[in-house]
Structure 1
Amino acid sequence: MKSLETRLAKLALKGDQRAFAEIVDLYKDKLYHLAYRMVGNRQEAEDVTQEAFLRVYKNLDRYDQNQKFSTWIYRIATNLCIDRLRKRRAVYSLDAESSDHEGLDGYSMLPSDDRTPESELILSETQRLIREAMDTLPVKYKSVMVLRYLQDMSLQEISDVLDMPVTTVKTRVHRGREFLRKKLENKL
């Protein structure tokens, strides 16, 4: 028995617009949350989510129906996030003035959270420190840590999404935790 997503993908491939709309409804929040956790900026997360659905639509014919649909769509979104993070690191230096953005230095380019007083109360100091530490993780560790601890995926699912051996995923989760532990040692 094929999954609902696989059936919807087949229908969408045949041109059924409603089937693709259902795929979007099923995954839009999940992909947005994944992207937001990885890129840390609402606008970029929305852009990544839209781009992911565009790629899904364009590449439906390349979806392998023997693979879980969720794995395939998460792989697309995760790779888009990784690409954005790599480009961002290459382009922005925190102290350098950018000629494209008159008068803005790198600090003003960092994502803001637009926190409300209520959400500020809810967000504990510990959570804030952990989030800040997560933001400093190297991309290869950040992707596995977000998928493992914020998307609650198993090591096997992460292996499928990132198309790497489970042993590599385990190593990166371990190193990511070590990186966070060292980063947080003096702060908590």
Structure 2
Amino acid sequence: MNVLENRLARLALKGDQQAFAELVDLYQDKLFHMAYRMLNNRQEAEDVVQDTFLRVYKNLERFDETLKFSTWIYRIATNLCIDRLRKRKPTYSLDAESQEYDGLDGYSMIPSDNRTPESELILSDTQRIIHQAMESLPPKYKSVMMLRYIQDLSLQEVGDILDMPVTTIKTRVHRGREFLRKKLEHRL
């Protein structure tokens, strides 16, 4: 995949609109899901995806072909999400139902053949609590935790995307988990 993406990036740099369209097709949904999980807002996630592709298009000549294209594009999108999170004023809501999830909460249901209405209610309540705890993470931990656990990237990939050493990523994952543990130990 890396070879294909790099080839498409080279073609797009030479003005091949179809190659750029293929890059958009490859990454549009992946970037949206990552941004939505980080921002918990459909409109902001769509804006981040659009801004990401604008930046990619404007800066294709800066793409270092020794890197994976996916690392470069995820880095751009993640940084845009972090910027938006930093600009937000913290909001604390005791009324979880006032938040809008657009039918998605970003966390998959645990598969089970024997679901009951009671187990569904407990599961959705648990997911809501975990989602709120993830939302409350400081941006520097939230981005690492989302990339590591929601996007299921390796520590090295997260480090490449955020342009940080793996040791820093490990520390932030540890601190992020501790933050979540403390938030959740009284709730679950």
TM-score, normalised via structure 1 length: 0.85
Count residues with an aligned counterpart: 171
> What do the CA deviations read for 1:31-71 (whole angstroms, capped 9, x no partner)?
00010011110000000000000000000000000000000
8 Å Cα contact 2:34-2:151 kept in structure 1 = yes
1:2 Cα offset (Å): 6.3
1:124 Cα offset (Å): 1.8
The aligned runs of 1:4-153 (5 Å cut-off) are 4-89=4-89, 112-115=100-103, 124-153=124-153
5+ residue gaps in structure 2? 110-119
In structure 2, how many angstroms separate the alpha carbons of the residues matched to 1:2 and 1:48?
23
| C-alpha distance 23-39 of structure 1, shift in aligned 2 (>3 A) | same
5+ residue gaps in structure 1? 96-106
1:19 Cα offset (Å): 0.2
Higher relative contact order (CA 8 A, sep 6+): 2
> Structure 1 counterpart of 2:102, which letter?
D
Identity of aligned residues (%): 71
TM-score, normalised via structure 2 length: 0.85
> What do the CA deviations read for 1:9-29 (whole angstroms, capped 9, x no partner)?
000000000000000000000
| C-alpha distance 17-74 of structure 1, shift in aligned 2 (>3 A) | same
| C-alpha distance 176-128 of structure 1, shift in aligned 2 (>3 A) | same
> Structure 1 counterpart of 2:43, which letter?
Q
| C-alpha distance 111-162 of structure 1, shift in aligned 2 (>3 A) | farther
